[in-house]
């Protein structure tokens, strides 16, 4: 962080944002009371996934795209599987689909608890990180770690391992776990569900900055369930489209300061994906327990204060544990464990709700199954413009703060989004310059 | 090494999954954090201590000119430098560019490729500086990571296997998927450490721990051909997360 105080210029800078996935920073210039410019930068080096996928077999896309992000590999696996299944005309049998959803519930628990408890909560409590928090409140951190582990264990059992699971494939799973293998998860998931309820009550007591925005929310919607691994793309502005129609409504543009691409929704502009969007559009589909705790902590029907996203993540963690238990209770090991995928020339689209928001994929393959073209739109690049807009709004209300306090407030604003920079590169330094 | 060694965690081009594996040591994390001084780990904490560092854990591969300069600075400041994961030890999936032309790739992903600054290759850390210890895997194994940290804390060499994945299948009691089902499997040439997960889930190993010491890749290629695999399929199997590891790289070049 640096500061210059010429009479008309105030400049604040954080070069490397901590407690986010990947490498990025931010730049803000303030002249008098006007926020002149905000740049949310991504300098995570490009890895060229869309290029390296060309010439690979369509069945390889899930394992390869998982490597875009170690925090949310299932999002990439599930979106690419959906796309390939769409090309091949495969409809998953119900139990096979539910196995994918179960693995995804594990990822939501792991990712949400990692972010909310380990990376975001320290901001509200004035700690540098969870390890520092553990020096004073070891019990809290131990509980959070056990909760995170419950999510990882679901992925271990269904997927083979928590980071880059191996058992999910186009058409289903390599091997369907037995009913007893899943039943063994029940006691810890029951503890996790109860613990997530307590966690929600705790994070709801944090002191949230007073800030609201009238966001355009975008999320998946699937009648009868809180959409995760399937659904139509809907928005608070009235959009309701099949995932294959995404590119007719959303555009990505490339800006110089960033190795990520900015997304906009036609006729609307910037928009928001992730927990706040899912909650605003689908909270009626949450389980009774998740709805009950959301009501108890006063979330209402729509949350427009991004700082309260941590509470929504906690509610979604309750839901994910609840839903995992529901799936396991009705589970019967499917035979066969997958539908064989026969390639045919065509284009397929897939979209699922990564912990950070919708993760959209399109692949064109030939009759031999070779990938001709790939396009991947991760959630963080979709949120990038909205994050910048939030920073402008927050800085405008916070000019009375010292440079150091303002920088911290901006970092907190960015972490509201749980930005996954590894994903978006294909995304952060914080610099605030006051003029 | 001082009583509480200063440990730094560095990121280069990667997916963050190997750093996450450190945070995934839920049962051990607080005990480890109590035995070391976390001096630099931006993914987990905004606290920072100046170097030098007793142990540096390095994730990711070198893909920019800035990376090259940065890894030399980190080496200067580090007592022991340990690379964690396939990106840091072999170049990762992004090393597929080493077999292609990045100038042709950038416009596929970016509308304004002139904004992008990158090297033509993705290379392992050991291509640039001396590395004291390598942990393989995409991602690394939690058990191997904990063993390594414990060994370094106690001043002994870590017990890491040098065998192939086959040994782990035998230890686990998994029937050989290649013999029993005719499933092509990279297990015979792949470094142990994952616990032979894939065969336990009815699929062939896809080599995410990279080549073992002195692998007989040619013999495996012959076996895969006998199972009916085409050479282009074998090349793709060798060119995934450890495509640039010398044994896999050279074997795949012979088949193109």
Could you read off the pLDDT of A96-135 as tens digits, one per residue?
Answer: 999 999 999 999 999 999 999 998 999 899 998 888 999 9
Sorted by where each starts, the structural domains of chain A and their CATH numbers stand as: 49-214+268-381 (1.10.645.10)
**Domain co-membership, B80 together with B142:** yes
| Residue B140, in any domain of the structure | yes
The residue of chain A with its CA nearest to that of B98 is A52
| Residue B33, in any domain of the structure | yes
Cβ of residue A19 closer than 8 Å to a chain B Cβ: yes
pLDDT band at A10 (very low <50, low <70, confident <90, very high): low
Domain that holds residue B122: 6-153
Predicted confidence (pLDDT) at residue A386 exceeds the cutoff of 60: yes
Average pLDDT over residues B14-23: 93
Predicted confidence (pLDDT) at residue A33 exceeds the cutoff of 90: no
Average pLDDT over residues B80-101: 96
The residue of chain A with its CA nearest to that of B203 is A174
- Here the ipTM equals 0.96
The better pLDDT of the pair A43, B127 is held by: B127
| Residue B1, in any domain of the structure | no
Picking from B92, B139, B240, the nearest residue to A163 by CB comes out as B139
Instruction: Name the residue among B37, B115, B27 with its Cα closest to residue A254.
Output: B115
Average pLDDT over residues B125-139: 98
Give alpha helix (H) positions in chain B: 17-23, 29-35, 65-77, 86-90, 102-109, 142-153, 165-172, 177-181, 197-200, 217-226, 231-238, 246-255
Other beta carbons less than 10 A from residue A286's beta carbon: 22
By the 10 Å C-beta count (0-12 exposed, 13-18 middle, 19+ buried), A130 is classed as buried
3-state class (DSSP) for residue A233: strand
Predicted confidence (pLDDT) at residue A427 exceeds the cutoff of 60: no
Give the distance from residue B220's alpha carbon to the nearest chain A alpha carbon, in angstroms: 21
CB contact under 8 A, A68 and B203: no
Q: How far is the C-alpha of A117 from the C-alpha of A145, rounded, in Å?
A: 9
The better pLDDT of the pair B3, A101 is held by: A101
The residue of chain A with its CA nearest to that of B239 is A56
| Residue B158, in any domain of the structure | no
Which residues in chain A touch residue B241, judged by CB atoms under 8 angstroms apart? 67
CB contact under 8 A, B118 and A45: yes
- pLDDT for residue B74: 97
Other beta carbons less than 10 A from residue B227's beta carbon: 14
- pLDDT for residue A2: 41
**Domain co-membership, B127 together with B172:** no
Predicted confidence (pLDDT) at residue B26 exceeds the cutoff of 70: yes
Cβ of residue A20 closer than 8 Å to a chain B Cβ: yes
Predicted confidence (pLDDT) at residue A286 exceeds the cutoff of 60: yes
Instruction: Name the residue among A151, A68, A138 with its Cα closest to residue A102.
Output: A151
Rounded to the nearest integer, the mean pLDDT of chain A is 90
Q: What percent of chain B has pLDDT over 90?
A: 84
Give the distance from residue A207's alpha carbon to the nearest chain B alpha carbon, in angstroms: 20
**Domain co-membership, B144 together with B218:** no
Predicted confidence (pLDDT) at residue A432 exceeds the cutoff of 50: no
| Domain harbouring B56, CATH code | 3.40.50.700
Picking from B105, B206, B236, the nearest residue to A56 by CB comes out as B236
- pLDDT for residue B141: 97
Which residues in chain A touch residue B20, judged by CB atoms under 8 angstroms apart? 70-71, 114, 163
**Domain co-membership, B71 together with B185:** no
Of B113, B131, B153, the last residue of a domain is B153
CB contact under 8 A, B26 and A149: yes
Q: How far is the C-alpha of B246 from the C-alpha of A153, rounded, in Å?
A: 35
pLDDT tens per residue across span B180-229:
999 999 999 999 999 999 999 999 999 999 999 999 999 999 999 999 99
- pLDDT for residue B91: 98
Predicted confidence (pLDDT) at residue B241 exceeds the cutoff of 60: yes
CB contact under 8 A, A422 and B15: yes
**Domain co-membership, B176 together with B110:** no
CB contact under 8 A, A18 and B42: yes
Beta strands (DSSP E) in A308-428 are: 346-354, 357-365, 371-377
pTM of the model: 0.94
Q: How many domains does chain B have?
A: 2
Q: How far is the C-alpha of A129 from the C-alpha of B254, rounded, in Å?
A: 49
Name the A residues in 99-128 with CB < 8 Å from any B CB: 114, 118-119, 122, 128
pLDDT tens per residue across span A300-331:
999 999 999 999 999 999 999 999 999 999 99
Cβ of residue A54 closer than 8 Å to a chain B Cβ: yes
The residue of chain A with its CA nearest to that of B140 is A163
Predicted confidence (pLDDT) at residue B2 exceeds the cutoff of 60: no
pLDDT tens per residue across span A146-195:
999 999 999 999 999 999 999 999 999 999 999 999 999 999 999 999 99
**Domain co-membership, B117 together with B174:** no
- pLDDT for residue A263: 85
**Domain co-membership, B11 together with B93:** yes
Average pLDDT over residues A57-80: 97
């Amino acid at each position: 962080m640096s500061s210059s105080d010429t009479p008309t210029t105030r400049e604040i800078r954080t070069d490397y944002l901590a407690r986010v996935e990947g490498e990025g920073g931010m730049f803000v210039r303030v002249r008098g009371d006007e926020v002149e410019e905000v740049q949310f930068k991504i300098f995570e080096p490009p890895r060229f996934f869309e290029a390296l996928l060309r010439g690979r077999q369509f069945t390889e896309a899930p394992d390869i795209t998982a490597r875009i992000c170690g925090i949310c590999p299932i999002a990439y696996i599930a979106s690419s599987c959906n796309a390939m299944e769409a090309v091949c005309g495969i409809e998953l049998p119900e139990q096979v689909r539910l196995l994918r959803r179960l693995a995804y519930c594990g990822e939501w628990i792991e990712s949400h608890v990692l972010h909310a408890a380990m990376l975001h909560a320290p901001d509200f409590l004035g700690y540098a990180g969870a390890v520092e928090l553990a020096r004073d409140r070891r019990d809290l951190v131990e509980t959070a770690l056990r909760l995170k582990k419950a999510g990882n264990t679901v992925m271990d059992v269904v997927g083979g391992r928590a980071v880059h699971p191996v058992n999910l494939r186009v058409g289903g799973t390599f091997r369907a776990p037995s009913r007893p293998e899943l039943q063994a998860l029940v006691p810890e998931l029951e503890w996790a569900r109860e613990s997530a309820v307590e966690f929600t009550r705790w994070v709801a007591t944090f002191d949230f900055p007073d800030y609201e925005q009238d966001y355009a929310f975008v999320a998946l919607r699937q009648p009868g369930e809180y959409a995760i691994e399937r659904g139509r793309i809907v928005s608070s502005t009235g959009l309701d489209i099949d995932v294959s129609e995404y590119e007719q409504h959303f555009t990505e543009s490339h800006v110089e300061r960033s190795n990520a691409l900015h997304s906009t929704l036609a006729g609307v502009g910037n928009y928001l994906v992730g927990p706040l969007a899912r909650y605003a559009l689908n909270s009626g589909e949450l389980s009774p327990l998740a709805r009950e705790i959301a009501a108890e902590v006063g979330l209402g029907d729509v949350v427009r204060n991004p700082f309260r996203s941590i509470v929504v993540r906690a509610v979604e963690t309750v839901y994910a544990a609840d839903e995992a238990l529901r799936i396991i209770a009705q589970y019967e090991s499917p035979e066969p464990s997958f539908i064989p995928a026969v390639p045919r020339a065509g284009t397929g689209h897939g979209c699922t709700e990564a912990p950070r928001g919708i993760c959209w994929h399109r692949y064109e393959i030939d009759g031999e199954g070779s990938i001709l073209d790939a396009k991947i739109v991760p959630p963080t690049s979709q949120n990038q413009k909205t994050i910048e807009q939030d920073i402008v709004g927050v800085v405008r209300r916070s000019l009375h703060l010292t440079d150091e306090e303002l920088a911290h407030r901006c970092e907190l604003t960015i972490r509201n989004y749980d930005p996954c920079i590894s994903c978006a590169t294909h995304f952060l330094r914080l610099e605030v310059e006051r003029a | 090494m001082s009583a509480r060694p200063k440990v730094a965690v560095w990121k280069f081009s990667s997916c963050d999954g190997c750093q996450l594996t450190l945070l995934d040591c839920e049962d051990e994390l607080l005990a480890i954090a109590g035995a070391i001084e976390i001096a630099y780990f931006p993914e987990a904490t905004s606290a920072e201590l100046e170097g030098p560092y007793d142990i540096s854990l390095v994730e990711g591969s070198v893909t920019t000119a800035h990376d090259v300069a940065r890894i030399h600075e980190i080496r200067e400041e580090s007592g022991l430098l340990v690379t964690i994961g396939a990106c840091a030890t072999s170049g990762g999936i992004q090393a597929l560019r080493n077999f292609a032309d990045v100038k042709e790739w950038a416009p596929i992903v970016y509308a304004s490729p002139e904004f992008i600054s990158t090297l033509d290759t993705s290379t392992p850390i050991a291509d640039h500086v001396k590395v004291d210890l390598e942990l393989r895997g995409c991602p690394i194994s939690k058990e191997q990571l904990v063993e390594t940290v414990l060994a370094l804390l106690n001043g002994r060499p870590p017990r890491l296997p040098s065998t192939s994945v086959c040994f782990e299948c035998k230890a686990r009691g998994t029937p050989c998927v290649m013999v029993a089902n005719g499933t092509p499997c990279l297990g015979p040439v792949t470094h142990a450490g994952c616990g032979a997960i894939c065969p336990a889930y009815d699929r062939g190993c896809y080599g995410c721990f990279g080549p073992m010491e002195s692998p007989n890749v040619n013999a495996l290629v012959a076996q895969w051909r006998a199972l009916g695999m085409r050479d282009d399929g074998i090349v793709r199997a060798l060119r995934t997360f450890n495509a640039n590891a010398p044994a896999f790289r050279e074997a795949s070049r012979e088949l193109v």
